[in-house]
């Protein structure tokens, strides 16, 4: 959220990502999610589909 706040204050994505200690590409993805759904867009929801299978070594 720090990186998003820095962008809202006028920093570019590269500077905001560096200041928040994150990758610029990840921040870009977050900006798109934030623009689409606000803060709720940043919440990771469980994926649908079959649960992952457990591996057992014999």
Nearest C-alpha neighbor of 3 from the set 53, 47, 25: 25
Q: Which pLDDT score, from 0 to 100, does residue 32 have?
A: 94
Q: Which pLDDT score, from 0 to 100, does residue 57 have?
A: 81
Q: Which pLDDT score, from 0 to 100, does residue 52 have?
A: 76
Burial class (CB in 10 A: 0-12, 13-18, 19+), 33: middle
CA angle, residues 25, 32, 47, in degrees to nearest 5: 90
Q: Which pLDDT score, from 0 to 100, does residue 28 have?
A: 94
Query: Does an H or E element contain 20, and which?
Result: helix 13-20
Polymer length of the chain = 58
- What is d(CA 42, CA 46) in angstroms, rounded to the nearest whole number? 13
Which two structure tokens, joined as six digits, stand for 2? 């720090």
Q: Which pLDDT score, from 0 to 100, does residue 38 have?
A: 92
Per-residue pLDDT in tens (0 to 9) along the chain, 58 residues: 899 999 999 999 999 999 999 999 999 999 999 999 998 998 887 878 888 788 888 6
């Amino acid at each position: 959220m720090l990186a998003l706040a820095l962008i809202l204050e006028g920093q570019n994505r590269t500077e905001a990502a560096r200041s928040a200690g994150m990758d610029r590409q990840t921040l870009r993805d977050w900006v798109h999610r934030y623009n689409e759904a606000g803060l709720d867009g940043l919440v990771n929801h469980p994926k649908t589909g079959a649960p992952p299978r457990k591996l057992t070594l014999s």
